[in-house]
């Protein structure tokens, strides 16, 4: 072989190796949890995003991103993963109100007009990350309103549309509830009162595959038509992944792209994201460590080792399972960001509570997390 031809071959080989997508290799794994999904991968609507994290000599973060089957224009139901931006936006709105000399903080008591009890934004965010509490999300949703949510996310160039509350009647009511904030719940004096907000009407999404399945249960009857998701919440995987990057590594982004929250609130939300249920008082038998930590530990009830920190938000509903996580192993110098979604609804009927979460979905996400973790351990050596 001539020298010039040999050099060209070597260069092409090196470029090819450099561009090799590790997700493709993982998807072709012979692990049964992976094989079980890959044989029907289109039906399972799998999407995966993976960011390797390196640092240069100045300590600046460098991302190397890989993706598998990711499409912003193909709809999947994000379920509780929408709670991540809502928690961050609640802290951002608090910061904005404080700048207007309104003395309310994440620890301040508040109540919505339909609540019989008072709570705090701090408590609701803690519940959102510890056990994916729906009521906590709905209370923050009332505080923000659809207009604020969507306008603020849009201003940060985050593609999304949050339109409704979760697991309640009239979830998509465009009129948000009024709220009052008090220093002490027995006080008659309000630190801040927010009137009810009439938000913009919800329009249909112009995306692919918003009609899903063969039918759905409604009022105990089977409706033999695809379920229409076109007015449901929309948070594509790329947007979810970007939100995780921005809250974990805000220094990489412009101030306009980041969430404008106080440092103490930023520290608080990071701590909440990695908190395990038992650490905030939930029964460990029911809410085991992997309860809402699908990657690596979702398919086991064993304790998560102390040196592995998982900052994440999951979603599961209508047969969709999603996880977005920044995973850090302080012992082995490992860190990466992983986001994935999968659909498990073999009979293609919605609202029948017959989804293969435990049989197919969670084992796939857990094994995917372990495969990426093993890859990262080899990278760190």
What's the pLDDT at 380? 85
- Tally of CB atoms within 10 A around 209: 13
Mean pLDDT of all residues in the chain?
95
Give the span between the Cα atoms of 225 and 270, in whole angstroms: 42
What's the pLDDT at 43? 97
Average pLDDT across each block of 10 residues of the chain; the chain has 381 residues. List them in order: 44 50 97 97 97 95 98 98 98 98 98 96 98 98 98 98 97 98 92 97 98 97 98 98 98 97 98 98 98 98 98 98 98 98 98 98 98 96 83
What's the pLDDT at 7? 44
Question: Minimal CA–CA distance to 351: which of 234, 183, 223, 164?
Answer: 223
Q: Which two tokens stand for residue 206?
A: 């112009």
238 within 8 A of 72, measured Cβ to Cβ:
yes
Q: Is the dihedral of CA 247, 251, 257, 259 positive or negative?
A: positive
Convert the pLDDT of each residue in 166-194 to its tens digit. Answer: 999 999 999 999 999 999 999 889 999 99
Q: Name the H helices within 165-320.
A: 237-248, 263-274, 294-297
What's the pLDDT at 19? 67
Q: Which residue has the tokens 């101030």?
A: 255
- Tally of CB atoms within 10 A around 373: 19
Question: Minimal CA–CA distance to 135: which of 93, 171, 89, 178?
Answer: 171
End-to-end CA distance of the chain: 36
Distances (CA, A) of 288 to 131, 284, 297: 10, 5, 10
Convert the pLDDT of each residue in 280-302 to its tens digit. Answer: 999 999 999 999 999 999 999 99
CATH class, range 26-380: alpha beta
Give the span between the Cα atoms of 127 and 145, in whole angstroms: 20
Q: Is the dihedral of CA 95, 97, 101, 103 positive or negative?
A: negative
> The pTM is what?
0.94
Residue 112 bridge partners (DSSP): 179
Phi, psi of 68 (to 5 degrees): -135, 115
Give the span between the Cα atoms of 115 and 109, in whole angstroms: 12
Q: Which two tokens stand for residue 257?
A: 């792209």
Residue 68 bridge partners (DSSP): 48
What's the pLDDT at 17? 45
| Eight-state DSSP code of residue 114 | T
24 within 8 A of 68, measured Cβ to Cβ:
yes
Q: Which two tokens stand for residue 286?
A: 């029911």
| Eight-state DSSP code of residue 52 | E
Cα three-residue angle 327-328-334, rounded to 5 degrees: 115
Q: Which two tokens stand for residue 149?
A: 């949510």
């Amino acid at each position: 072989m001539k020298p010039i031809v040999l050099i060209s071959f070597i260069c092409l080989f090196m470029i090819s190796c450099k561009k090799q997508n590790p997700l493709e290799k993982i998807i072709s794994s012979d692990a049964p949890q992976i094989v079980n999904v890959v044989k029907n991968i289109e039906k399972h609507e799998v999407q995966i995003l993976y960011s390797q994290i390196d640092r240069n000599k100045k300590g600046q973060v460098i991302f190397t991103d890989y993706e598998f089957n990711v499409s912003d224009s193909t709809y999947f139901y994000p379920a509780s993963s929408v709670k991540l931006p809502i928690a961050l936006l609640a802290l951002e709105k608090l910061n904005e109100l404080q700048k207007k000399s309104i003395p309310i903080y994440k620890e301040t008591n508040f109540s919505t007009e339909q609540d019989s009890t008072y709570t705090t934004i701090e408590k609701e965010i803690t519940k959102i990350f510890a056990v994916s509490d729906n009521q906590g999300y709905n209370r923050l949703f009332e505080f923000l309103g659809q207009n604020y949510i969507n306008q603020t996310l849009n201003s940060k160039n985050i593609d999304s549309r949050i339109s409704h509350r979760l697991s309640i009647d009239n979830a998509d009511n465009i009129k948000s509830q009024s709220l009052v904030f008090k220093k002490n719940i027995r006080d008659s004096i309000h630190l801040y009162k927010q009137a009810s907000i009439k938000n913009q009407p919800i329009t249909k999404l112009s995306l692919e595959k918003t009609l899903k399945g063969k039918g759905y249960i409604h009022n105990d009857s089977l409706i033999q038509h695809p379920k229409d998701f076109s007015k449901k919440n929309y948070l594509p995987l790329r947007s979810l992944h970007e939100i995780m990057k921005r809250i974990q590594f805000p220094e990489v982004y412009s101030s306009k792209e980041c969430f404008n929250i106080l440092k103490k609130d930023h520290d608080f939300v990071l701590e909440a994201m990695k908190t395990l249920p038992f650490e905030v008082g939930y029964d460990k038998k029911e809410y085991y460590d992997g309860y809402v930590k699908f990657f690596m530990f979702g398919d086991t009830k064993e304790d998560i080792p102390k040196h592995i920190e998982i900052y994440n938000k999951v979603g599961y509903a209508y047969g969709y399972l999603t996880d977005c996580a920044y995973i850090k192993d302080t012992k082995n110098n490992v860190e990466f960001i992983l986001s994935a979604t999968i659909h498990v609804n073999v009979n293609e009927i919605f609202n029948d509570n017959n989804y293969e979460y435990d049989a197919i979905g969670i084992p796939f996400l857990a094994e995917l997390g372990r495969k990426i973790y093993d890859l990262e351990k080899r990278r760190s050596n």
